[in-house]
Amino acid sequence: MSTQEKNIKISTINEVQENKQDKEKNIQEEQKQIQEEQKQTQQQEKQQTKPTKEVLKIENVSKKYQAPNGEIEALKKIDFTLKEGEFLSIIGPSGCGKSTILSIIAGLESKDNGEIKIDGKIGYMLQKDSLLEWRTIYSNIMFGLEVQKNRTKENEEYAIQLLKKYNLYDFKDKYPNQLSGGMRQRAALIRTLAIKPKILLLDEAFSALDYQTRIMVTKDIYDILKNEHISALIVTHDISEAISMSDRIVILSNRPAQVKDIMEIEFEMENRDPINCRESPKFSEYFDAVWKGLNIYE
């Protein structure tokens, strides 16, 4: 082979390689474009599957308590809605009227003004799990059905199914004080779920637990509620808890409670839960926004 021939061959090889690189580059760009398109379709689908049906609507609700030493104005023109499948937190300073809102929704307190529309059965979970210490876990769960005068064979079987599904069946003959704080809370949740609620009201349901247990229990309960397609209204004074659990947060003022703001919480991660969303940089941004929204110095 002459030198000229060799040079031609080398340059041809170079050209082939360049062509190959160009092609690879094109393929990479195409793949990138496909990924981008997939991402956009996923986002569009997410938008479309956003819940729109309202299961709870609170309109212009006000409440004054008549106390021995005068009137206490607790709520002033409260307005918000809870959508199907949504987790909505209510956050506000201690004593501002959060529990009053839940009590009115649950029908335990009267309201002075306004409208409340409820679509579906309501379950209620409090800070104290209120399990009866002298009854076994099984009997505590049946007690929920007895109170509702609904202890049918079918409902009993449903409760047993829940105990099995959420790993408490092996503890059914134990007494509450033989269970950890987290397991007690799960038992209390199953007692509430056994009555087949569509909407769950949680009033500072985790605040009696120590920090680590609380985080584990919020995930536990979040997963169970999502799994059972229950809409949740969560009262808390803990900003991190509100962000980690919610699709939206209602921020209340000092007493009398008024709605100051309603914030959307969204994390761009698949299968978001109350633990993994804490790793997102958006978590601290939301924290600052809620903190500012609460403005405790007001």
Tokens of residue 228, six digits: 């059972």
Within 10 angstroms of residue 164's Cβ, the number of other Cβ atoms is 12
| CA distance from start to end of the chain | 89
Closest CA to 254 of 53, 76, 122: 76
Contact 237, 205 (CB under 8 A): no
Q: Which stretch binds ligand ADP (CB under 6 A): 11-19, 89-97, 209-217, 258-266?
A: 89-97
Residue 2 binds which one of ligand ADP, Mg ion, none, with CB within 5 to 8 A depending on kind?
none
User: Which residues between 217 and 236 bind ligand ADP (CB under 6 A)?
Assistant: none
Question: Counting contacts by CB under 5 A, is residue 236 touching Mg ion?
Answer: no
Residue 100 binds which one of Mg ion, ligand ADP, none, with CB within 5 to 8 A depending on kind?
ligand ADP
Q: Which stretch binds ligand ADP (CB under 6 A): 92-100, 119-127, 129-137, 289-297?
A: 92-100
The structure tokens 């506000």 sit at 92
Question: Counting contacts by CB under 6 A, is residue 296 touching ligand ADP?
Answer: no
Contact 141, 187 (CB under 8 A): yes
Q: Which stretch binds ligand ADP (CB under 6 A): 50-58, 88-96, 168-176, 212-220?
A: 88-96
Characterize the bridge pairing of strands 248-252 and 87-91. Answer: parallel
Tell me the per-residue interface mask from 83 to 122 with Mg ion, x by CB under 5 A, - otherwise. ----------------x-----------------------
CA distance 229 to 204: 21
Dihedral sign computed on CA atoms, order 47, 52, 56, 58: positive
What is the distance, to the nearest Å, from the Cα of residue 181 to the centroid of all Cα atoms in its chain? Answer: 20
User: Which residues between 61 and 80 bind ligand ADP (CB under 6 A)?
Assistant: 65, 67, 72, 74
| CB 253 to ligand ADP: min, Å | 11
Rg (alpha carbons) of the chain, rounded to whole number: 27
Residue 97 binds which one of Mg ion, ligand ADP, none, with CB within 5 to 8 A depending on kind?
ligand ADP
Tokens of residue 33, six digits: 């474009």
User: Which residues between 241 and 280 bind ligand ADP (CB under 6 A)?
Assistant: 255
- Of the pair 95, 114, the CB lying nearest ligand ADP is at 95
Residue 234 binds which one of ligand ADP, Mg ion, none, with CB within 5 to 8 A depending on kind?
none
What is the distance, to the nearest Å, from the Cα of residue 84 to the centroid of all Cα atoms in its chain? Answer: 12
In the complex, the residues that contact ligand ADP under the rule CB under 6 A are 65, 67, 72, 74, 92, 94-100, 255
